[in-house]
Amino acid sequence: MSFDRLTAATTSTAHIGLGLAAVGRPGYINVTRDLGEPGARTPEALRERTHELLDAAYAQGVRYFDAARSYGRSEAFLAEWLTARPHVTDVVVGSKWGYTYTADWRIDAEAHEVKDHGLATYERQRTETHALLGDRLDLYQIHSVTADSPALTDKELHARLAALAAEGVTVGLSTSGPGQADAIRAALGVTVDGEPLFRTVQSTYNVLETSAGPALADAHDAGLTVIVKEAMANGRLAGADAPAVLRELAAEQGLGSDAAALAFVLRQPWAGAVLSGATTVDELSGNLHAVTLDLDEERVARLDALVEEPEAYWRHRAALPWH
């Protein structure tokens, strides 16, 4: 399985991945995102920024890179970086299908992406991803599955995904919304010819939203690799606006709240990879300090008061603007 390379990696940061959602397109949901001047949002500028981040991440031991069809040009930027660096052969490359990017490189678009988990969308987007990443693609996930998604019951789609797995590409899914646990457990029951279809699950988990934790533990026990996204709650846990207790806990060890937020997730025994969504090299370096932060039981207990009800958390997230 492709994620064996993460398990075997000797770098301390191998279990932190770099997600490209915030640098593959000009608009994104993150309250602390700052790309600088307007000129920093052109495709050329974001390509340069993405490559700079990928260089810094790789140099500091990061070995998982996460893209998606709906992340603007993230797959193209990543593919160009890989092509220019043929010596980089020890990374795991993941992408996702199921959302189509529709913003046409505008921040004020009425809709930035459109969701469709149908077979026709899979076939189209798989062809698009292959044209960019080719054989460098290790993992292909269904993007933002919920318990009522047709992707969990479409047998023809399952057969196509199993065929992809037979070609050597790991098949997984990501989840979103207050019912993540239900979607994860439903996915664990999906089989093709008696064999589990999904080998990874990528879910939101952070100090504000922990409801998927038990289901992610079940997924891990079932042999799936767990990838955690939105560990910083779309920027709510980073910088001066982070909750006071998180900032204080991090400051006790001379670090930023972003490192503490990531450390909280990294300490979960089921967490195989935890994504950084950094947009600058400095942000990335701050995130990577998470591996040095000591979060014992007493410190974790101080964070308990931050947990929100899942419905409230996801309502707040849905109200965040694209910028």
Average pLDDT for runs of 10 along the chain of length 323 = 68 92 94 77 96 98 98 98 97 98 93 97 98 98 98 98 98 98 98 98 98 98 98 95 95 96 97 97 97 94 95 96 87
Q: What pLDDT score was predicted for residue 1?
A: 47
Q: pTM for this one?
A: 0.97
DSSP 3-state of 185: helix
**Residues with Cβ within 8 Å of residue 29, at least 6 apart in sequence:** 234, 317, 320, 321, 322
**pLDDT for position 323:** 81
How are beta strands 64-66 and 99-101 bridged, if at all? unpaired
What residues have CB less than 8 Å from 34, skipping those under 6 apart? Answer: 279
Could you give the CA distance from residue 29 to residue 83 in angstroms, rounded to a whole number? Answer: 29
Are the C-beta atoms of 97 and 66 separated by less than 8 Å?
no
pLDDT at 227: 98
CA of residue 21 relative to chain centroid, distance: 8
In 3D space, the residue among 65, 57, 26, 47 whose CA is nearest the CA of residue 282 turns out to be 57
Tell me the C-alpha distance between 271 and 91, whole Å: 18
